[in-house]
Amino acid sequence: MKKKELIFVLLLFVAAALFYGVTAYQKKASDVAAISIDGTLWKEVSLSEDGTYTIETPQGYNIVQIQKHTAAVIEADCPDQLCVQQKSIKQPHEMIVCLPHKVVVEIK
Amino acid sequence: MDSRKIAYCALLSAVALLLGYVERLLAVPMVVPGMKLGLANVVVLLALYLFDAKTALGISLVRILLSGFVFTGFASFLYSGAGAMLSFLAMAAFQKTKRFSMVYVSIIGGMSHNIGQMIFACIAVENIRLLYYLPILLVIGGATGFLTGIVGEKTIVYLKY
Protein backbone atom coordinates (compact mmCIF):
# COMPACT_ATOMS: atom_id res chain seq x y z
CA MET A 1 0.00 0.00 0.00
CA LYS A 2 0.92 3.66 0.09
CA LYS A 3 2.74 3.40 3.37
CA LYS A 4 5.31 6.18 3.02
CA GLU A 5 2.74 8.66 1.80
CA LEU A 6 0.32 7.71 4.55
CA ILE A 7 2.99 8.26 7.19
CA PHE A 8 3.76 11.66 5.66
CA VAL A 9 0.12 12.70 5.96
CA LEU A 10 -0.09 11.38 9.52
CA LEU A 11 2.99 13.43 10.44
CA LEU A 12 1.20 16.48 9.09
CA PHE A 13 -1.74 15.67 11.34
CA VAL A 14 0.55 15.46 14.36
CA ALA A 15 2.21 18.79 13.54
CA ALA A 16 -1.14 20.53 13.18
CA ALA A 17 -2.45 18.94 16.38
CA LEU A 18 0.60 20.28 18.24
CA PHE A 19 0.05 23.77 16.82
CA TYR A 20 -3.58 23.79 17.92
CA GLY A 21 -2.66 22.26 21.26
CA VAL A 22 -0.37 25.22 21.91
CA THR A 23 -2.91 27.82 20.79
CA ALA A 24 -5.67 26.16 22.82
CA TYR A 25 -3.40 26.28 25.86
CA GLN A 26 -2.98 30.05 25.54
CA LYS A 27 -6.67 30.56 24.98
CA LYS A 28 -8.79 32.90 27.03
CA ALA A 29 -12.56 33.02 27.05
CA SER A 30 -13.78 35.64 24.63
CA ASP A 31 -16.83 37.80 24.38
CA VAL A 32 -16.23 39.93 21.33
CA ALA A 33 -16.55 39.30 17.63
CA ALA A 34 -14.86 41.82 15.39
CA ILE A 35 -16.39 42.38 11.99
CA SER A 36 -14.19 44.03 9.39
CA ILE A 37 -14.69 45.04 5.78
CA ASP A 38 -11.71 45.21 3.45
CA GLY A 39 -9.24 45.18 6.34
CA THR A 40 -10.82 47.96 8.38
CA LEU A 41 -12.84 47.33 11.52
CA TRP A 42 -16.55 47.87 10.97
CA LYS A 43 -17.97 46.91 14.33
CA GLU A 44 -17.19 44.91 17.44
CA VAL A 45 -20.18 43.01 18.73
CA SER A 46 -20.71 41.28 22.04
CA LEU A 47 -21.27 37.53 21.95
CA SER A 48 -23.40 37.57 25.09
CA GLU A 49 -26.22 39.49 23.43
CA ASP A 50 -28.15 37.63 20.77
CA GLY A 51 -28.89 39.61 17.68
CA THR A 52 -28.43 39.98 13.96
CA TYR A 53 -26.30 42.52 12.17
CA THR A 54 -26.51 43.39 8.50
CA ILE A 55 -23.21 44.32 6.95
CA GLU A 56 -23.50 46.42 3.83
CA THR A 57 -20.48 46.44 1.57
CA PRO A 58 -20.01 47.95 -1.89
CA GLN A 59 -20.20 44.42 -3.27
CA GLY A 60 -23.27 43.20 -1.36
CA TYR A 61 -24.56 42.30 2.08
CA ASN A 62 -23.90 39.68 4.75
CA ILE A 63 -26.12 39.02 7.75
CA VAL A 64 -24.31 37.91 10.87
CA GLN A 65 -26.25 36.25 13.65
CA ILE A 66 -25.09 36.08 17.24
CA GLN A 67 -26.78 33.34 19.19
CA LYS A 68 -25.77 31.41 22.32
CA HIS A 69 -22.25 32.86 22.29
CA THR A 70 -21.58 31.81 18.70
CA ALA A 71 -21.40 33.85 15.54
CA ALA A 72 -22.51 32.71 12.09
CA VAL A 73 -23.27 34.24 8.73
CA ILE A 74 -26.85 33.25 8.01
CA GLU A 75 -27.40 35.08 4.75
CA ALA A 76 -25.40 36.76 2.04
CA ASP A 77 -25.82 37.69 -1.60
CA CYS A 78 -22.37 36.56 -2.68
CA PRO A 79 -22.21 34.05 -5.53
CA ASP A 80 -20.31 31.27 -3.77
CA GLN A 81 -22.14 31.24 -0.40
CA LEU A 82 -19.05 29.83 1.28
CA CYS A 83 -19.48 32.09 4.30
CA VAL A 84 -23.03 30.82 4.85
CA GLN A 85 -21.97 27.18 4.64
CA GLN A 86 -19.30 27.71 7.22
CA LYS A 87 -19.79 26.40 10.74
CA SER A 88 -20.59 28.93 13.46
CA ILE A 89 -17.61 30.17 15.44
CA LYS A 90 -17.00 30.88 19.12
CA GLN A 91 -13.34 30.19 20.01
CA PRO A 92 -10.71 32.95 19.89
CA HIS A 93 -8.95 33.24 16.50
CA GLU A 94 -11.78 31.49 14.69
CA MET A 95 -13.12 33.42 11.76
CA ILE A 96 -15.63 33.40 8.97
CA VAL A 97 -14.51 34.91 5.71
CA CYS A 98 -16.57 36.15 2.80
CA LEU A 99 -14.03 36.67 0.08
CA PRO A 100 -16.26 38.31 -2.55
CA HIS A 101 -17.31 41.02 -0.07
CA LYS A 102 -13.99 41.08 1.78
CA VAL A 103 -15.81 40.61 5.06
CA VAL A 104 -14.11 38.91 8.01
CA VAL A 105 -15.85 37.98 11.25
CA GLU A 106 -13.28 37.13 13.87
CA ILE A 107 -13.60 36.12 17.51
CA LYS A 108 -11.20 38.26 19.49
CA MET B 1 -1.20 18.16 -31.61
CA ASP B 2 -3.26 15.48 -33.27
CA SER B 3 -7.00 15.16 -33.05
CA ARG B 4 -6.76 12.30 -30.59
CA LYS B 5 -4.94 14.52 -28.12
CA ILE B 6 -7.40 17.36 -28.67
CA ALA B 7 -10.26 15.00 -27.88
CA TYR B 8 -8.47 13.77 -24.78
CA CYS B 9 -7.83 17.30 -23.53
CA ALA B 10 -11.42 18.34 -24.14
CA LEU B 11 -12.65 15.28 -22.30
CA LEU B 12 -10.34 15.90 -19.35
CA SER B 13 -11.34 19.58 -19.16
CA ALA B 14 -15.01 18.61 -19.14
CA VAL B 15 -14.45 16.02 -16.42
CA ALA B 16 -12.50 18.57 -14.35
CA LEU B 17 -15.29 21.12 -14.65
CA LEU B 18 -17.90 18.55 -13.75
CA LEU B 19 -15.95 17.22 -10.77
CA GLY B 20 -15.74 20.75 -9.42
CA TYR B 21 -19.51 21.00 -9.72
CA VAL B 22 -20.20 17.61 -8.18
CA GLU B 23 -17.97 18.57 -5.29
CA ARG B 24 -20.10 21.65 -4.71
CA LEU B 25 -23.17 19.43 -4.47
CA LEU B 26 -21.62 17.22 -1.82
CA ALA B 27 -22.59 18.65 1.53
CA VAL B 28 -19.17 18.57 3.16
CA PRO B 29 -19.37 20.62 6.35
CA MET B 30 -17.03 23.59 6.14
CA VAL B 31 -15.20 23.43 9.42
CA VAL B 32 -12.54 25.90 8.37
CA PRO B 33 -12.76 28.57 5.68
CA GLY B 34 -11.32 27.46 2.37
CA MET B 35 -11.41 23.71 2.77
CA LYS B 36 -12.60 21.49 -0.05
CA LEU B 37 -12.06 18.07 -1.51
CA GLY B 38 -10.18 19.11 -4.61
CA LEU B 39 -11.57 16.37 -6.84
CA ALA B 40 -10.68 18.36 -9.96
CA ASN B 41 -7.07 17.99 -8.94
CA VAL B 42 -7.25 14.37 -10.10
CA VAL B 43 -7.65 15.56 -13.67
CA VAL B 44 -4.71 17.96 -13.61
CA LEU B 45 -2.64 15.20 -12.05
CA LEU B 46 -3.68 12.76 -14.76
CA ALA B 47 -2.90 15.27 -17.49
CA LEU B 48 0.51 15.83 -15.98
CA TYR B 49 1.28 12.13 -16.22
CA LEU B 50 -0.53 11.38 -19.47
CA PHE B 51 0.83 14.36 -21.39
CA ASP B 52 3.14 17.10 -20.17
CA ALA B 53 3.19 20.17 -17.94
CA LYS B 54 2.01 22.50 -20.72
CA THR B 55 -1.09 20.45 -21.43
CA ALA B 56 -1.90 20.08 -17.75
CA LEU B 57 -1.61 23.85 -17.32
CA GLY B 58 -3.98 24.38 -20.23
CA ILE B 59 -6.58 22.03 -18.77
CA SER B 60 -6.24 23.63 -15.35
CA LEU B 61 -6.73 27.12 -16.82
CA VAL B 62 -9.75 26.06 -18.87
CA ARG B 63 -11.35 24.52 -15.80
CA ILE B 64 -10.79 27.56 -13.60
CA LEU B 65 -12.02 30.00 -16.23
CA LEU B 66 -15.12 27.99 -17.04
CA SER B 67 -16.08 27.19 -13.47
CA GLY B 68 -15.52 30.85 -12.61
CA PHE B 69 -17.91 31.93 -15.35
CA VAL B 70 -20.48 29.19 -14.88
CA PHE B 71 -20.59 28.46 -11.16
CA THR B 72 -18.62 30.50 -8.70
CA GLY B 73 -18.18 34.13 -9.69
CA PHE B 74 -15.22 36.44 -9.94
CA ALA B 75 -13.85 36.36 -6.38
CA SER B 76 -13.76 32.59 -6.21
CA PHE B 77 -12.25 32.52 -9.67
CA LEU B 78 -9.28 34.59 -8.46
CA TYR B 79 -9.11 32.72 -5.20
CA SER B 80 -9.10 29.21 -6.60
CA GLY B 81 -7.03 30.41 -9.54
CA ALA B 82 -4.24 31.44 -7.17
CA GLY B 83 -4.43 28.05 -5.49
CA ALA B 84 -4.55 26.11 -8.73
CA MET B 85 -1.58 27.93 -10.22
CA LEU B 86 0.65 27.37 -7.22
CA SER B 87 -0.56 23.79 -7.00
CA PHE B 88 0.19 23.26 -10.69
CA LEU B 89 3.70 24.72 -10.39
CA ALA B 90 4.51 22.57 -7.37
CA MET B 91 3.13 19.40 -8.91
CA ALA B 92 4.91 19.98 -12.20
CA ALA B 93 8.20 20.62 -10.40
CA PHE B 94 7.90 17.54 -8.21
CA GLN B 95 6.72 15.34 -11.05
CA LYS B 96 9.65 16.40 -13.19
CA THR B 97 12.21 15.09 -10.73
CA LYS B 98 10.74 11.58 -11.24
CA ARG B 99 11.66 10.79 -7.66
CA PHE B 100 8.20 11.06 -6.20
CA SER B 101 5.22 8.77 -6.63
CA MET B 102 1.98 10.08 -8.06
CA VAL B 103 0.43 10.10 -4.60
CA TYR B 104 3.24 12.29 -3.24
CA VAL B 105 2.90 14.71 -6.14
CA SER B 106 -0.82 14.88 -5.42
CA ILE B 107 -0.23 15.55 -1.71
CA ILE B 108 2.14 18.38 -2.62
CA GLY B 109 -0.49 19.68 -5.02
CA GLY B 110 -3.21 19.66 -2.39
CA MET B 111 -1.05 21.44 0.16
CA SER B 112 0.27 24.08 -2.21
CA HIS B 113 -3.27 24.77 -3.43
CA ASN B 114 -4.16 25.78 0.10
CA ILE B 115 -1.01 27.87 0.45
CA GLY B 116 -1.81 29.75 -2.76
CA GLN B 117 -5.41 30.35 -1.72
CA MET B 118 -4.32 31.48 1.69
CA ILE B 119 -1.81 34.00 0.35
CA PHE B 120 -4.43 35.41 -1.97
CA ALA B 121 -7.10 35.53 0.74
CA CYS B 122 -4.75 37.33 3.14
CA ILE B 123 -4.04 39.97 0.53
CA ALA B 124 -7.69 40.28 -0.50
CA VAL B 125 -9.15 40.81 2.96
CA GLU B 126 -5.98 42.51 4.27
CA ASN B 127 -5.89 40.34 7.34
CA ILE B 128 -2.74 38.39 8.05
CA ARG B 129 -4.36 36.59 10.98
CA LEU B 130 -6.08 34.29 8.50
CA LEU B 131 -2.82 32.35 8.64
CA TYR B 132 -4.16 30.86 11.87
CA TYR B 133 -5.98 28.39 9.63
CA LEU B 134 -2.97 27.48 7.52
CA PRO B 135 -1.78 24.47 9.55
CA ILE B 136 -5.18 22.81 9.51
CA LEU B 137 -5.62 23.63 5.83
CA LEU B 138 -2.26 22.04 5.06
CA VAL B 139 -3.39 18.90 6.82
CA ILE B 140 -6.69 18.86 4.98
CA GLY B 141 -4.89 19.58 1.72
CA GLY B 142 -2.42 16.79 2.43
CA ALA B 143 -5.16 14.32 3.27
CA THR B 144 -7.34 15.14 0.28
CA GLY B 145 -4.24 15.16 -1.92
CA PHE B 146 -3.48 11.67 -0.65
CA LEU B 147 -6.97 10.49 -1.58
CA THR B 148 -7.02 12.15 -5.01
CA GLY B 149 -3.53 10.78 -5.62
CA ILE B 150 -4.78 7.25 -5.04
CA VAL B 151 -7.73 7.88 -7.35
CA GLY B 152 -5.29 9.18 -9.97
CA GLU B 153 -3.00 6.21 -9.62
CA LYS B 154 -5.87 3.76 -9.98
CA THR B 155 -7.33 5.64 -12.93
CA ILE B 156 -4.25 6.18 -15.05
CA VAL B 157 -3.88 2.44 -15.62
CA TYR B 158 -7.02 2.57 -17.77
CA LEU B 159 -6.16 5.79 -19.55
CA LYS B 160 -3.06 5.02 -21.55
CA TYR B 161 -2.83 7.62 -24.27
Residue A17, pLDDT score: 84
- pLDDT tens-place values along chain A, 108 residues long: 577 888 888 888 888 888 877 777 766 667 889 999 988 899 999 999 899 999 999 989 999 999 988 999 999 998 878 888 888 888 888 889 888 898 999 988
Confidence band, pLDDT 50/70/90 cuts, at residue B70: confident
- What is the third-level CATH fold of A31-107? mini-chromosome maintenance (MCM) complex, domain 2 (2.60.320)
Q: What is the CATH number of the domain that holds B50?
A: 1.10.1760.20
Structure confidence at residue B161 (pLDDT): 67
On the question of pLDDT at B54 being above 60, the answer is yes
Strand partners, A107: A33
* Contact between chains at A100 and B142 (C-beta distance less than 8 A): no
User: Which residues of chain B have a CB within 8 Å of the CB of A102?
Assistant: 124-126
Using a CB–CB cutoff of 8 Å, tell me whether A66 touches chain B: no
* pLDDT score of B27: 65
Question: Can you give the residue range of the structural domain that contains B59?
Answer: 3-156
Domain limits of chain A?
31-107
B150 is a domain residue: yes
Q: Is residue B161 part of a domain?
A: no
Residue A63 CB contacts under 8 Å (≥ 6 apart), including other chains: A52, A53, A54, A55, A73, A74, A75, A76
**Is B102 part of any domain?**
yes
d(CA A23, CA B121): 22
Please give, rounded to a whole number of angstroms, the shortest distance from the CA of B39 to a CA of chain A.
17
Q: Tell me what ipTM this predicted complex has.
A: 0.72
- Residues of A whose CB is below 8 A from B30: 82, 85-87
Domain membership flag for residue B19: yes
Q: For chain B, what is the domain count?
A: 1
B contacts of A5 (beta carbons < 8 Å): 101, 103-104, 107, 146, 149
The reply to whether A73 touches chain B by the CB within 8 Å rule is no
The answer to whether residue B83 is domain-embedded is yes
